[in-house]
Amino acid sequence: MDAGTVLLILAVVVVGGGLAVLLLRAEAARRREQEHNRRLAEATERMAAQQHELAGRLSAFAEQGAVERAELTRALQERLDGVSKRLGEGLEQSATKTAETLGQLTKHLDVIDKAQRNIAELAGQVVGLQEILDNKQARGAFGEVQLNDLVSAILPPSAYAMQAPLTNGRRVDCLIRLPNPPGPICIDSKFPLESYHALRLAADDLQLKQAQRDFRAAMLKHVTDIAERYIVPGETAESALMFLPSEAVYAELHANFPDAVEQSYRRKVWIVSPTTLMATLNTVRAVLKDARMREQAGLIQAEVMNLLDDVRRLDKRTANLRRHFDQASEDVREIGVSSEKIVRRADRIESVQIEDEPAEPLAPEPQALAGE
């Protein structure tokens, strides 16, 4: 068999195999199409059944919806009627309350008008206070008046003196008369308002630092002046008080200037505000009370000894009075015995009969007790 014949046979075999494959594929495609058509028919039938069921449900829903809409319409109508009624009543009540509110508002406006007048008066007073604080002499007088009010409210008049003279020619705002030790304590009122205002109104860091330096310098100058003028050896205590009549200045000092506070401690000048001064004065009052009690301790002891002597004399006189009572009781008892004897004798005398024959002599009484 030659090569051409072999090639021809091979070509026939290959073509036949290809035709067989194509026939198999065509048959498989036909079967798949039939299966697809069958499934499509089943799906169509199911869809028709579901559409029929859906139409039934929609009809039922439509009927139920009509019933519910009718019920909802009825309920809404009832509620609208109720709301209309309540709205009418509410409008009537609102009108009444509005009239009452307008009346109250008129009263409040009158009160506000009076308050505005009071505020205007207060503003005038604040302006007056500001003018006082801007004037150094008036500001000093303001601090002295506040100091006087605090001291006079807590201490008795004999315990302090305002504008008291010292031997160095100075006059202190207030001198607290404490016994030795520690001795009289001076209180001077200071109010560094300008430097404090500059500190609070500083616009930048440069102004703030300058205001801090000025405030520290002012406070240290006041401390130095008080230490040199109002601490007099042999006459006053070894320390003094600087009164700041402003809690804000006192708080600023202790919050941001601890070095100035420490410097005042070293100079033995204690810085106080109105609140801390009140606490200090209460302590001073307790010290004065204790000192007066110590001064009166000798007199109290002498009075106690005299009281003990009086108690002893009273005890002696009570004993004498008790003896007198005992003697009086004995005398009363003896008088009773004698009275009983007299009664018995009278009874015997009454029982005697007068006869011809001599009567028997009366029996003698028993021997009386000694002294009866």
Inter-residue contact 359 to 352 (CB < 8 Å): yes
Residues 164, 282: one domain? Answer: yes
Please count the other Cβ atoms lying within 10 Å of the Cβ belonging to residue 142: 17
The pLDDT of 63-67, averaged and rounded, is 82
Helix (H) or strand (E) holding 25: helix 3-134
156 closest CA partner among 189, 186, 178:
178
Instruction: Indicate whether 44 belongs to any domain.
Output: no
Compute the C-alpha angle 212/218/221, nearest 5°: 140
Instruction: Indicate whether 166 belongs to any domain.
Output: yes
- Model confidence pLDDT, tens digit, residues 134-168: 445 544 566 788 888 889 998 899 889 999 999 99
pLDDT given for residue 343 in this prediction: 79
CATH (domain of 251):
3.40.1350
Residues 121, 215: one domain? Answer: no
Instruction: Indicate whether 4 belongs to any domain.
Output: no
pLDDT given for residue 1 in this prediction: 59
Residues 191, 276: one domain? Answer: yes
Residues 297, 171: one domain? Answer: yes
Residues 199, 99: one domain? Answer: no
pLDDT given for residue 161 in this prediction: 92
Place of tokens 């700041």: 244
Instruction: Indicate whether 8 belongs to any domain.
Output: no
Is the pLDDT reported for residue 19 higher than 80?
no
Residues 223, 175: one domain? Answer: yes
pLDDT given for residue 127 in this prediction: 44
Highest-confidence segment of 21-35, 107-121, 174-188, 352-366: 174-188
Residues 150, 231: one domain? Answer: yes
Inter-residue contact 187 to 243 (CB < 8 Å): yes
Residues 269, 156: one domain? Answer: yes
- The domain boundary, picked from 237, 269, 302, lies at 302
Q: How much is the pTM?
A: 0.45
- Model confidence pLDDT, tens digit, residues 291-313: 777 777 777 777 778 888 888 88
Structure tokens at 145: 């008046």
- Distance between CA atoms of 183 and 100, rounded to whole angstroms? 69
Is the pLDDT reported for residue 50 higher than 70?
yes
Residues 209, 122: one domain? Answer: no
The pLDDT of 103-132, averaged and rounded, is 66
190 DSSP assignment: -
Instruction: Indicate whether 148 belongs to any domain.
Output: yes
Instruction: Compute the mean pLDDT over every residue in the chain, rounded to the nearest whole number.
Output: 80
Strands across the sheet containing 185-189:
160-165, 171-176, 185-189, 240-243, 269-272
171 closest CA partner among 188, 156, 155:
188
Domain that residue 271 falls in: 144-302
Residues 130, 101: one domain? Answer: yes
Residues 165, 251: one domain? Answer: yes
Judge if the upstream peptide bond of residue 358 is cis by omega within 30 degrees of 0. Answer: no
Instruction: Indicate whether 235 belongs to any domain.
Output: yes
150 burial type by CB count under 10 A (0-12 exposed, 13-18 middle, 19+ buried): buried
Place of tokens 């009071």: 118
Q: Are strands 240-243 and 185-189 parallel, antiparallel or unpaired?
A: parallel
Residues 226, 107: one domain? Answer: no
- The domain boundary, picked from 254, 271, 302, lies at 302
- The domain boundary, picked from 302, 323, 354, lies at 302
Instruction: Indicate whether 309 belongs to any domain.
Output: no
Q: Residue 41 — pLDDT band, cuts 50, 70, 90?
A: confident
Domains of the chain: total = 2
Inter-residue contact 352 to 361 (CB < 8 Å): no
Please count the other Cβ atoms lying within 10 Å of the Cβ belonging to residue 220: 16
pLDDT given for residue 365 in this prediction: 54
- What φ, ψ does residue 231 adopt, rounded to 5°? -115, 100
